[in-house]
Structures are given as structure tokens and as C-alpha cells.
Chain A
Amino acid sequence: MPDLDILKPKSVSEATGFLRDLGDGVKVLAGGTAVVLLCHMGLLRPRYLLSLGEIPGLDYIRFEPGVGLRIGAMTTHRAVERSPLVRERCPLLAQAFHAVANVRVRNQATVGGVMAEADYASDPPCALAALDAQVVAHSPRGTRTIPVTGFVTGFYETALMPDEIVSEILVPDRGGGARGAYVKFVTRSSEDRPCVAVAALIEERDGICERLGVAVGAVAATPQRFVHVEQLAHGERLSAGLVREVAKQYAGAIDPIDDLRGSAWYRKQVIEVLVRRTIEAAGAVP
């Protein structure tokens, strides 16, 4: 690749300044697992790579009571999956990050990067959608917060403006009563990308469901959440029948894709089974 320059900003504002000034020819490099691959395959030929690796203060996991988990954009998947804080406060998130690829990729890929890449088969965006997480984005024009549920707008497309980078992910504090599960269903090797993946989060009090969050990933361009279906469970006991109904409605509401891992028809069948099983698994968490 001729004429590739690496830019190494030392701050977020320097980084977004580059994005504003250099426009189309810049590609942001976080961990690099996607970008380096695409460059090597000749599918991406940027003029500049904007490496975020030297910006201090983007690699952190903090918990603020009343606010939630704050995870810096350059935090690796592995750090999230192994973090005692994440495992305690949001085990569903640790599970979803653990499900990604293999340990080498997880040591390199970042929280900000996986959101910005918007790969339809990625595990973390699905879990973050179920968790009502938020993406914090910086640009020279300031900071804004984008709900994860609206963040991915299409295949490999996000709501990010060209001069914005992700600086943080925020997972709201549920007060410790939430239980979640992430289930990834593969149809070939254990190392395959998912055919269907489901994240489910239940908040219950005295056996009554106060909030149900369910997101289905790998079946469409964006993680699939249907709040009107989730609301069927609000204020009810999560009986087997109710869970089946939620699962059935999710399967009915989704128009899945066809790919090497399964046809649209097959995905529909599995969505129904997996949504049910994931809610049951979440409910079974002690």
C-alpha cells in the first residue's frame, strides 16, 4: 500500500481534529483486528491511519453508583471479560465479551472498536443493546451520548459522524437486582461466528418481572430489540408460557438474513428457541 501515514494523536481532541481536517482518507485504528485485516486484504486503502493507541486515559473500567459501569473505548475485550468489577456488576457483559472469537483477538480488540465496526455478528453490541447501554462520542463540536439501541444503523454503519470517535461505553446501574445471560449459537465449528445470539436481562422483585431486556444478534444488520414485546413481561410472573410467547413474538418480528451459517428460515426457528432458553438461563442465575 503506497503512501500510508500513521497519525498518533496524544489526546481525544487531537484525534477528532484530524478527523475533521483530513476527511475521507482517514481510518480510525483502535485495536486493529478489523482494520488491519481489511487493509491487508486490500479492501481498505486509507491514506491515513489514526491510531488511538497513544491517547492516555481511554483504557479503564469504573463503576459509579447510580450511574453505572463506565468503560473506556480502548479497553480490550479481555480486560472486560476478566474484570472482577464487570463480573460482579454485570456478568452478562463479561459473558458477551468472552464469547468473541478467541483469546488473541480479545486481547487486541477494543470496546470502542467493536461498536464502531458495527459487525452484525458481533457479540458485544447485542448484549449492550439489551442492557440499554450508551455510547459516548467525542467530536470537535463536543460530546454526545447515543443509546446503543440506535447506534448501529446498518451493516457496518453507525450513527457516528465522520468527525466523531467513541470514547466510552456506559452501562446503566441496575441496582444489583438484574440477572442476565448471553447465549451464542453456532452451526459449524465452535470458533464460528454466531448464527443467532441472544442477550437477556431480567429484573425481578418478589417474583414479579419489573423489566425484561432481550436483544437478538447475528440475524440482521442491527441487534434486534422489541420493547413492546418485552413489555408483555413487565409486572407479570415470568411463567413458561409467557416466556414462550415472548420468544414466539421475537421470532415473528424479525426478518433474518441468509448467510453461510444459516438460512433466514432456520434463523427464525432458532430465534424462537434461543430467546426462550436465554431468558430461562437468565432467570436461573442465582
Chain B
Amino acid sequence: MPQSKEVLNLAVSMGEELLKNGGEIYRVQETVCRVMEAYDVWDYNVFVVTNGIFATVHEERADAGSMVRYIPLGEINLEKIAKINQLSREICQGHCSLREANKRLKACRQGAGVKDVTLIFACGIESAGFCFLLGGHFIDSVFSFLLGMLLQTFLLMGTKRNVSKFILNILGSAMVTAGSLVLYRLVQDILYDRIIIGGIIVLMPGVALVTGIRDLFNGDYLSGGIRMMDALLTGICIAAGVGAAVKIFQLLGGGALPL
């Protein structure tokens, strides 16, 4: 394989890893460009959108190469972004041979990450925290903690079976709402709305919102638009899940819910 192709492969693979784990468009674009330049490839073109990278090198020479990657929106993993960023810094300074860079990229891809149990526990803590911040009492936070753990377990299971994100959002928020309403029937003396809000905050499209804004204001309108649409749709899905659960609860004879 000619050198230019290897460089292209490395650069686009790094970009792919960044994009898959929730990097912004300008970061991906800049990383790909810098890596190419660091390995002395100057005649290149890169175009990045939220779910794809297109790149060509040396279009007018014999060792021309091009690459297209489709990248579905994935789970946020900031550790990988930080690692790739570090790798690209070192490549820029010329500390890293092509082979070594490939090896490190591979290692970064296979990084172990956080255990599922930790994730579930963190989700519980975070639900409880939000429930408390929104004015819930201690007992509400405890229930929120349990529901948050349940939700994260459900999300992890769903993600492993490749269930669509929208279905997960609808079912997840419906599950939290139903759980909270059942608890409300059983215990009576709880602020069920705070518990629901604490529970569904994990599903909220905060990341899509923030990344979308950054993309939009860097001039990547298409990518920013994709992310903002994602944020909006996710919000609507959550609302639909909550609404459906409340409605079903009412129809089953739960009666009007006091606020």
C-alpha cells in the first residue's frame, strides 16, 4: 500500500473514532487535516458531517486514494476523545511513527471503559441528585435512585440488542413514569413528579444540544442541524413516553393526579 493511503487510513480512522464517540465536527476535521500534514501529505480534501467522513489524497497522482466512512451516532465516550486528541497532539509534534500511531489507535479502540455496574450505579445517583435538586425530599430521592438504576439497566440491555434509540427513549421514559405512579399509589406520600423528572434526566438530549450548537456556530450547518433535530426528536419521544404512561394510568382508574 502506498504511503499516502496508509496516512489517509490512519487519519480517517482517528476521525471516525472521534465522531463515533461524540466529538464536534471541527475537531474531527482539524484532527484529520493535522494528521495528514504531520505525515507530509499536503494535497488532500476532507469533508465531515455528523454521520460520515469523506476524504481524498493526491487526486492527480498515481498514488491517489479516497475513503468514505459511514458512522452512525453512538454512545458518548469522552475518554476516547481525550485519548485521540492526545495522540493527534503527539503526531503533530512528530513524536509518533505511522506504525506506532496505528498501534495506539487500536489500543484506544479496545479500551475497556467503565463497567456496566458502575454505569447503573452512577445513573441511580444522578437521578437521586436531580430529584433532590428539584425540591424532592430524601424519600423521593431514594425511589428516584432505584428507578434510575432500573432505567440504566434497561438502556444497557436495549443498546446491546440494537433497539432503536427512539423506542428506547419512549419505553424508558414510560417505564420511569409508570414506576413512579405505581409507587405513588402504594406509598401516597411522595412527590411523584420530582421522581419522574429525576429519572428521565438521563434520557435528555443535553449532549446533542451542546454539540449541535457548537457545530452550528462553527459554520457546520448540516451537522449542527442533524444534531439539533436529534435533540428535538429525543425530547418529543420522552414527552410521548411520559404522556402515554400517565394516560394509561388514568384509564386504569388511577384518577386525576394532583400536582
* A, B co-complexed: no
- B interface residue numbers (CB < 8 A to A): none
- A interface residue numbers (CB < 8 A to B): none
